[in-house]
Chain A
Amino acid sequence: MRLWRKFGSGLVAGLLIGGIFVAGYMIGVQRGRATPTDAQSGYSLLWTVRDLLDRSFIGEIPAAQAQVYGAVHGLVAAYNDPYTVFVEPASREVERDDLRGHFGGIGAYMARNEAGDLVITVMRDRPAARAGLQDGDILLEVDGQPIPSDMAVSEIVALVRGEVGTSVVLAVRRAPQSEPLSVTVVRERIETPSVEWRVLDPENHIGYTRISIFSERSGNELSTGLAELASQGVDKLVLDLRGNGGGLVDAAVAVTSQFVKEGVVLREIKRGGQERFYPVKSTQSPAREWKIALLVDAGTASASEIVSGALRDQGRATLIGEKTYGKGSVQEVHELPDGSSLHVTVARWLTPDRHQIDKTGLEPDIAVGITAEDREAGRDPQLAQAQAWLSDTH
């Protein structure tokens, strides 16, 4: 059993809808599997109930697996913690792919429209587009299996993804009344970059980088981006963590380590009060002296808050935007033999200076909101404020 460590956020469900999503996990700490307890002996009531149901329920009896999943969901609910969750295999597969930053797929996004149809949007120059799929195609079947309207998008995504080099046959409908088309697509390695960057203001040497998820690849991607920005003369940076719901703790450490030389990234308090800290990793980076304006909002959660808290405590960044989400707990993700996984809240974390994050979030140093009108007009007052702040402080 592989064990991951995660910093998820409450945003997972929303992000799942998009097909590529996130919220993340952490290091692959190997751990012995937990000893099964003698719990079962205390659960005879559960078996009795299951038995009564199977014998007498008038409707369709769910598969044994669905019953076990139901029982495990119920069990987990008893712990009354929003981040301690049981994830069924299909969702887990998608989640894992996103944290890895690559997967075998066709290069398309899927989302349900208001009518409940599954609409495809293709990525340019990827297998789906090359095979002839078009934006707006409605997915009907995957390898001959019809897609019911109540099937979770993550389950469909899991069907479409597979080993690189294998093919998948999709039946789609293009126009409302037309015959379904059958399209065979060969899966390729699809990368899902987590970091993007550009020069924002050449005159003032300001660069911009946005991290959308803390995946296994984030550290390397950021390193590439910072080197490229440095080569273009950048020495001030807008680091955009808005809407970043988190990811792997190790990625947060790797990202923080590109901006500070030494010290602590976060402190973790386990059950029973044991404390450990994650030190800054020594690594090459051009950005350790750069001025940093860090953009945050209510969607900045978990691993994003680790980075924000660490950079602020070390005096390395000014936080601009809105109060962050406030997720200060750590989950370990246990991969179970059947492909499902169990996320268990195992610790709280504090910033290096021992500030609590959980439920309170981080207040920005410079509060700047963004209104619906701003968004409609394509304005970004938070980014503008960050740029102005960096320009002022030569």
Chain B
Amino acid sequence: MKQNALTTAVKIFVVAISAMILTLAAFGIGVSVGASQMRQAAALPSPATAEPVDSDTATGEAPAAVTPRTPSDTMPKLDSKLFNEAMGLLEDQFYGDLPEGEDLTYNAIQGVVKALDDPHTAFLDPQQAAMFNSDIEGTFEGIGAQVDKEDGGGVEIKYLFAEQPAIKAGLKVGDFIMAVDGKDVTGLDINAAVSLIRGPRDTQVTLTIQRGAGEPLDVVITRASIEIPVVESKTLGDGKVEYIALAEFSSVAPERLANAVKEALAKKPTGLILDLRGNPGGLLDAAVRIGSYFVPEGNIVIERFKDGRQQEYGREGRYLLGKIPLVVLVDAGSASASEIVAGAIQDAGTGVLIGETTYGKGSVQLPNALSDGSQLRVTIAHWFTPKDRGIHGTGLEPDIAVPVTEEDITAERDPQLDRAVEYLLTGK
């Protein structure tokens, strides 16, 4: 047990996670839709951006502190007698259905985690862990839809990936999935429902769809391997400004962003916009690599542990930006890894932050893979910008503050983007 926990511990640093994100990320989107959706999501405080997620890095050793002691060392301290006594009474007497499988253990663990009173320290059961991992890797096998779900209701289609099985099979945004392969999903939580919908590519799934007030219809869909879109590029300002939006810091993000930046700069633009609005974060490693594209020297981020130890993450790899002026768009949905990158750029002076105060998530989580496939994400450190600024709870202030109003959203205006283009074209 102990061995397993140790050897399978993923040596990753994460910057956060939340149930909501998992939920929205469930179909691989949530945190990863195209930039325009993200902007709206961020401006209308939606659950997706209210509690940002974050991220990991495949770099670095797991800190020494994660070596678990043997369980027997710890038992005297945790009063397992009381726990077992309660357990025995429940098993012996409870009137009603007894919990199934590992539910008891998982719930007990959730209880211990809750006692820490930290929203970012979390326990994911194997199903949730698998979903989270595939999302952070940037691909999953499923039907290509973003969904949400309310208690007792069907699974609602919120967004459909272009060219993917769900949209090709005729699903529409606003449809409710009531059953999957004949199994009613209205009583399930979203993760359980999504795990039924997902499955190996080339296999089929039958969804019972409720559309409006009509009769339910069955739709058969062949699953595919879905890549979560991470980077969206376009050209603005009469061809003079290149725009790149990054939706999340997944493991594929650094390479895709590097390609997008190289392509953009090959057009010799007057300026470059990096849109991190609504980007809730992701892997720390991805943040360090991406930050390095825009910061020519020094550190990207500094991490400090409980015991005062600190670890500096120096820039690595090629510096891509050159002398091109850069604007980084940020808002209250820019969190965690987004704040690392924006903070490093702000400290290095290579770019200007335009938009709104960022989320303010300055803690780092270590995801421990447990023996049965579940995952324990522990807040192990706080991070600081290269100039040693702490942002936890406060966020980063933009250099040029530009709010987005309800009216702007209704009219599909983007004053932050407009300001960014203006800044790059006029230099002020």
**A residues whose Cβ falls under 8 Å from a Cβ of B:** 33-37, 39-40, 42-59, 61-62, 64-81, 84, 86, 270-271, 329-330, 332, 334, 336-338, 340, 342, 344-348
Contact = CB atoms under 8 A, between A and B. Distances in A.
B302 interface: no
Given A34-B92, A75-B90, 9 more contacts: A36-B88, A37-B88, A47-B78, A57-B121, A58-B382, A69-B115, A75-B87, A78-B104, A346-B93
B65 A56 contact: yes
A36 B95 contact: no
21 contacts: A33-B85, A35-B88, A47-B74, A48-B371, A49-B123, A51-B74, A52-B376, A57-B380, A59-B117, A70-B112, A70-B113, A70-B114, A70-B115, A71-B78, A77-B111, A78-B99, A78-B108, A79-B99, A271-B95, A344-B89, A348-B95
A344 B86 CA distance: 10
A56 B378 contact: yes
A340 B105 CA distance: 21
Interface string B45-83: 000000000000000000101111101001101111111
Given A49-B376, A53-B378, A43 B105 contact: yes
Interface in B14-60: none
B94 A37 contact: no
A346 B92 CA distance: 9
A148 to B, nearest CB: 14
A73 B110 CA distance: 9
A43 B378 CA distance: 19
A291 B307 CA distance: 74
Contact of A75 (B2, B96, B107, B370): B107
A86 B370 contact: no
Contact of A52 (B1, B68, B81, B102): B68
Contacts of A37: 84, 87-88, 91
B116 interface: yes
A37 B91 CA distance: 9
B368 A52 contact: yes
Given A79-B96, A348-B95, A64 B112 contact: no
Given A47-B74, A71-B112, A329-B95, A57 B68 contact: no
A60 to B, nearest CB: 8
Given A45-B372, A48-B1, A342 B108 contact: no
Nearest to B71: A47
Contacts, number: 220
A337 B82 CA distance: 8
A49 B90 contact: no
Contacts of A329: 95
A55 B68 contact: yes
Nearest to B9: A52
B85 A36 contact: yes
A62 to B, nearest CB: 5
Given A37-B84, A47-B78, A49-B113, A71 B380 contact: no
Contact of B78 (A68, A334, A346, A347): A68
A50 B85 contact: no
B381 interface: yes
A81 B94 CA distance: 10
Nearest to A69: B115
B107 to A, nearest CB: 4
Contact of B79 (A42, A49, A68, A334): A68
A345 B99 CA distance: 14
B86 A86 contact: yes
A345 B378 CA distance: 35
B103 interface: yes
A48 B116 CA distance: 16
Contact of A56 (B63, B103, B382): B63
Contacts of B75: 47
Contact of B68 (A51, A62, A80, A271): A51
A34 B88 contact: yes
Nearest to B81: A36
Nearest to A329: B95
Nearest to B98: A79
A207 B370 CA distance: 67
Contacts of B87: 36-37, 39, 75
B382 A36 contact: no
B67 A55 contact: yes
Contacts of A35: 88, 92
| Closest A-B pairs by Cβ, 9 of them | A74-B111, A70-B115, A78-B107, A47-B71, A34-B88, A70-B111, A78-B99, A36-B84, A74-B107
Contacts of A345: 94-96
A70 B112 CA distance: 5
B116 A44 contact: no
Contacts of A337: 82, 85
Contacts of A340: 82
A312 B115 CA distance: 47
A337 B83 CA distance: 12
B374 interface: yes
Interface string B368-405: 10111010101111100000000000000000000000
B306 interface: yes
B118 interface: yes
A251 to B, nearest CB: 22
Nearest to A55: B65
B112 A59 contact: no
B378 A72 contact: no
Contact of B111 (A75, A79, A347): A75
B392 to A, nearest CB: 11
Contact of A58 (B5, B80, B371, B380): B380
A34 B82 CA distance: 12
B363 interface: yes
B252 interface: no
Contacts of A348: 95
Quick one: which of B103, B104, B111, B382 has the most chain A CB within 10 A? B111
Contacts of B220: none
Given A40-B84, A46-B108, A56-B63, A67 B115 contact: yes
Between A48, A54, A270, A347, the greatest number of chain B beta carbons within 10 A of the residue's beta carbon is seen for A48
A72 B77 contact: no
Contacts of A69: 111, 115
B313 interface: no
Contact of B99 (A70, A71, A80, A86): A80
B319 interface: no
Contact of A62 (B88, B99, B116, B380): B116
